[in-house]
Amino acid sequence: MSKEEIKERIEKLKKEINYHRYLYHVFDRQEISDAALDSLKHELMTLEGLFPDLITSDSPSQRVGGRPLEKFRKVRHATPMLSLNDAFSEKELIEWETRVKKLVAGNRPALADFDYFAELKIDGFAISLVYEDGVLREGSTRGDGLVGEDVTESLKVIESVPLRLETDLREIGRHKETRMFLSGQPAIRKVFDHFPKVIEVRGEIYMSKRAFERVNAEQRRHGLPEFANPRNIAAGSVRQLDPKVTISRKLDFLAYDLVTDCGQSTHEEEHVLLKLFGFKTDEYAKRIRTLEEVHGFWKEIFQKRENLPYLIDGIVAQVNQGDVFERLGVIGKAPRGAVAYKFPAKEATTVVGDIIVQVGRTGVLTPVAVLKPVEIAGVTVSRATLHNMDEIKRLDIRRGDTVVVERAGDVIPQVTGVLKRLRPKGAQEFHMPTACPICGFPVVHKKGEVAYRCSNKSCAAVQREKLYHFVSKNAFDIQGLGPKIVDAFLDNGLIRDAADLFLLKEKDIEPLERFGEKSAANLFSAIQEKKKMSLNRFIYALGIQHVGEETAIDLAGTFGDVEKLKAAPLEELQKIRDIGEVVAKSIYDWFKNSSNSELLKKFRKIGLKIQNSKFKPQSQKLKGKIFVLTGELETMTRDEAKAKIRELGGDVSESVSKKTDHVIVGKEPGSKLEKANRLGIKTLSEKELLRVFG
Ligand code: IVH
């Protein structure tokens, strides 16, 4: 190809790539796969590599970000970046309207004629983008409203920030969505005849909840401290001197303000234009006639907000007519014509009952505050991660402290402050344990590292195995809850032990991979259903060494409740039929262990109802007879056979002893058969067993 041909190809590729970017970010639609798009980008970069002089600043290849900066350049905003006055109740919203109407129509406010435009208030941070001849020239932070910082290089990495505006109606018309759109907007079409040389757009940089969860999961995997909220990461990664910091790729941009006069007369038209220019805009935003409807919109969004992909902290309502808005002017730093109608506080105060430590997959210890349950914006919060020791020191948080807890959307609740004046006398500073709470191995802390780690490589695995066992078929048998989901719960810090499963809410489950609203609700109820559990299954689920199903049944039958079992002296345990010294000791030790006692307490606290449904056999046919099963059966499972034996009044034991009456031998029997032969115990085939059953 000649240079001319390459140039032509480059131009075409740029257009094509941009077309797909527009489609994806503006309309949430994809015509070609990510892989195909990557392939186009790759070709573009290869060609540009041949002739670097053909690289333009708006080329999609330039999204990789330039060289790291020494420091940020200051940028003076041509128009100040204002903030908004807040309304926290319907009353305050009405007061705002009254003021506005009075200013617009003097003492006859009834004559004021305008409507409203309402949109979501994204919880991110504001930036300004300046385009010259349609090409992104400068992007800056709000700063103090008058002077911000030049963050152009970081912003270029964010795909939803267009590198060039769509200024050509024919190009825009390539999208079927915009074609339909434009046909109903004759006034808007005129803008494109006199496209201003410089255009300034403002909007919000944010990180989606999902991306936020991923970033934090990644931090955890690498044993790094977690971020407190999406806004902090978003701000932090844009204000990066090195734009290559990959986190920036997970950021998003939503445009809400067209500062430049392009001929628009309402705020609604600004949104239309922003969309046509190639910006992602708020899909819920709309023109609204009355203040009542503004309140209705607020209510509607309040209900929807948990399901939105990003955090919002309210709605923004403003006078839609540009001239009226201008006339209303500015008071302090906020325009009179707009208001931020906020959602109720997502903060509450509560007391730290305990600070416990979770052990993650990589063995990193994470401190967690166990809180006196408190309702925050409709959800009961009973724990909050404290991230790491640095955070604990920063907050100076102690057991017994009264703390401020913030819950932002689906994000895990955060302790944002400690009310030190309310601290009880003698409250001790928190120290990381020196022994791992899961396995007891020493905890290590390398100098210069934030993380504390358990030195036992298989520690987290042990904890995992315990949980797999707890939910398994013969234990709690929770529908739809297998090892993979247990992993996801652990990896996302949602649970630490089996009792935590019962504290999970639908909203905790929903953001996890492979889950949606419905499946999360199903799993939630499957777990809740098991809040009533039989004593024998419960004992088996505890995973006490040497305590299988049969021993669990024996223990349940003998003691009839957990407390009695817990209080049983060693000798009493040894007296139980089928329980030898080793097993008795294992049971005894388990109940003496303090973290196990804590777990039992926790089960009680969450309202787990353990019932000793004293098993009543349907007949006495096999009364007094003890059976042991070995090998695989053909016509039924071993569990079915055991159940049948018990129904007929017989007993099942796990190991062969002198007391055993019959050993049932299936296919590929194990060492139990040998032992039976040695002790001269009668064996039965499956056929013979069936005959016994009748
Ligand atoms: S309009 C006059 N619209 O809220 C100020 N702001 O409290 C123009 N924000 O600094 C702001 N979503 O960071 C507007 N749809 C939205 C918004 C929004 C979030 C932020 C923005 C602003 C702050 C003001």
pLDDT per position as a tens digit, 634-666: 998 888 898 889 889 888 888 888 889 999 999
pLDDT for 250: 85
Is it the case that residue 65 has pLDDT exceeding 70? no
Q: Is 12 a catalytic residue?
A: no
Nearest atom of ligand 1 to the alpha carbon of 335 = 2
Checking phi first, is residue 631 left (phi over 0); if not, alpha (psi -120 to 50) or beta? left
Is it the case that residue 301 has pLDDT exceeding 90? yes
CA angle 44, 48, 50 (to 5 degrees): 125
**Comparing C-alpha atoms, which of 251, 261, 199, 246 is closest to residue 230?**
251
Nearest atom of ligand 1 to the alpha carbon of 123 = 19
pLDDT for 4: 93
pLDDT digits (tens, 9 = 90+) for 442-467: 999 988 788 898 888 768 777 888 89
Contacts of 197 (CB under 8 A, 6+ apart): 132, 133
pLDDT for 329: 94
Whole-model pTM? Answer: 0.57
**Comparing C-alpha atoms, which of 114, 282, 137 is closest to residue 199?**
137
Amino acid identity at 282: D
Give the pLDDT mean for 289-318: 94
Q: DSSP 3-state assignment of 383?
A: strand
CA distance 324 to 201: 20
Give the pLDDT mean for 510-515: 81
pLDDT for 35: 77
Q: Residue 123 Cα, ligand 1 centroid: separation in angstroms?
A: 9
Q: Pocket of ligand 1, candidates 77, 82, 83, 268: which has the most ligand atoms within 8 Å of its Cβ, to mutate?
A: 83
Give the pLDDT mean for 380-391: 87
Q: Residue 121 Cα, ligand 1 centroid: separation in angstroms?
A: 6
Residues within 6 Å of ligand 1 by CB: 82-84, 119-122, 125-126, 204, 256-257, 316, 335, 338, 340
Give the pLDDT mean for 430-445: 91
pLDDT for 204: 97
CA distance 201 to 257: 6
What's the number of CA atoms in the CB half-sphere (13 Å) around residue 540? 21
pLDDT for 409: 53
pLDDT for 361: 60
Q: Which of 216-220, 439-443, 688-692 has the lowest mean pLDDT?
A: 216-220
**Comparing C-alpha atoms, which of 382, 372, 390 is closest to residue 407?**
382
pLDDT digits (tens, 9 = 90+) for 154-184: 899 899 999 999 988 888 888 888 887 777 7
Give the pLDDT mean for 529-556: 91
pLDDT for 411: 59
pLDDT for 566: 95
pLDDT digits (tens, 9 = 90+) for 340-364: 999 876 778 899 999 999 887 667 8
Q: Residue 235 Cα, ligand 1 centroid: separation in angstroms?
A: 15
For residues 65 and 587, which has the higher predicted lDDT (pLDDT)? 587
Is it the case that residue 416 has pLDDT exceeding 90? no
Q: Residue 45 Cα, ligand 1 centroid: separation in angstroms?
A: 37
Domains of the chain: 3-63 (1.10.287.610), 84-342 (3.30.470.30), 347-453 (2.40.50.140), 460-611 (1.10.150.20), 626-693 (3.40.50.10190)
**Comparing C-alpha atoms, which of 593, 657, 648, 258 is closest to residue 440?**
593
CA distance 408 to 232: 12
- How crowded is residue 671: how many other Cβ atoms within 10 Å of its Cβ? 10
Q: Pocket of ligand 1, candidates 120, 127, 204: which has the most ligand atoms within 8 Å of its Cβ, to mutate?
A: 204
